[in-house]
Amino acid sequence: MIRAATPLLSLFALTGCPFDKEEEALGGDPCTAVVTEVSLDDATLGFSARDLLDMFEGTHQSPLRYVSGDADTIVTLTLAGSGVARLVVQEPVEGESLLYADCPDYLELPLSLTVSTADGALDEVFAVDAAAISATELELFAEVELSALNGSLSVEVPQDADRSSVQVEANFNSGGSGGVIRAQHEGAEDCEGSDSTAWASSEELASWPAVVEG
C-alpha cells in the first residue's frame, strides 16, 4: 500500500568551484555487477524472462489518486518485451559489510512501457530496464524531463531548479500493480568561495492503487 509522502529535500556539498551544474552528486554503490545477455528461456535463477513476460506483458489498469486532492482517474500501463534479457550477478564491493550490502542476483528485462491516464495528465512511452528477483514480482523505474512530457500534468517548479522531471516507479506482482508518480527537481547554489551546495527535492504527485482512508 502506497501513501502520499511529503516533499523530500537532499543537499550535497560540492567543492572546487567553479563546477558543472550538470554533474550529479551520487553516493557509492555497495555492489559490483557482472551483466550477461541470456536467452528468454534461461532459468539460472530458477525462473526465466519468458516466465516474467507470460505473467506481466500486456495492459494493467488501476485507480490513480492524486495527492493534491484532484479527482481520481484511471492509470493504464502497458508492458511489451524487446526479446532481450540480461542476467545480473552481484557481489558486495570489497570492504563493504555484508550486513548493509543487499546485492541479490536478478534478471534485467528491457521493456517498452506506456503510461497513460484517463484524464490526459500522462501519455508517455518509455524504454525501461525492469528487474526481477523472482518469477512473481517485477519492478521498474522510468523518468521523463518535464519539458518533454506529452500529457497535461501540471507541476510547480522551484525558481532555482536547473532540472525538473517526472518519475514513475512501479511494482507488478500476482495481485496486480502498485506505484507512485513523483516530481523530481535538482539545482545548485552559485559558488561562494571554494564550496557550493547542490540540492534535489522529490514530491509525490499520485499513487496507485488508490488508497481509501478509514
* Widest pairwise Cα distance in the chain: 57
What band does 26 get if pLDDT is binned at 50, 70 and 90?
very low
Cα 32 off chain centre by: 20
173 within a domain of the structure (yes/no): yes
135 within a domain of the structure (yes/no): yes
CATH of the domain at 188: 2.40.128
177 within a domain of the structure (yes/no): yes
75 within a domain of the structure (yes/no): yes
Identify any residues that bridge with 138 across adjacent strands, giving them in sequence order: 172
49 within a domain of the structure (yes/no): no
5 has a pLDDT exceeding 90? no
pTM (2 decimals)? 0.80
What is the number of domains present in the chain?
1
45 within a domain of the structure (yes/no): no
35 has a pLDDT exceeding 60? yes
What band does 13 get if pLDDT is binned at 50, 70 and 90?
very low
Domain extent for 148:
8-20+59-82+110-208
96 within a domain of the structure (yes/no): no
- Greater confidence (161 vs 57) lies with 57
Which residues, including other chains, have CB under 8 Å from residue 129's CB and lie 6 or more apart? 86, 108, 109, 110, 111, 140
- Residue among 81, 72, 67 at smallest CA distance from 128: 81
103 within a domain of the structure (yes/no): no
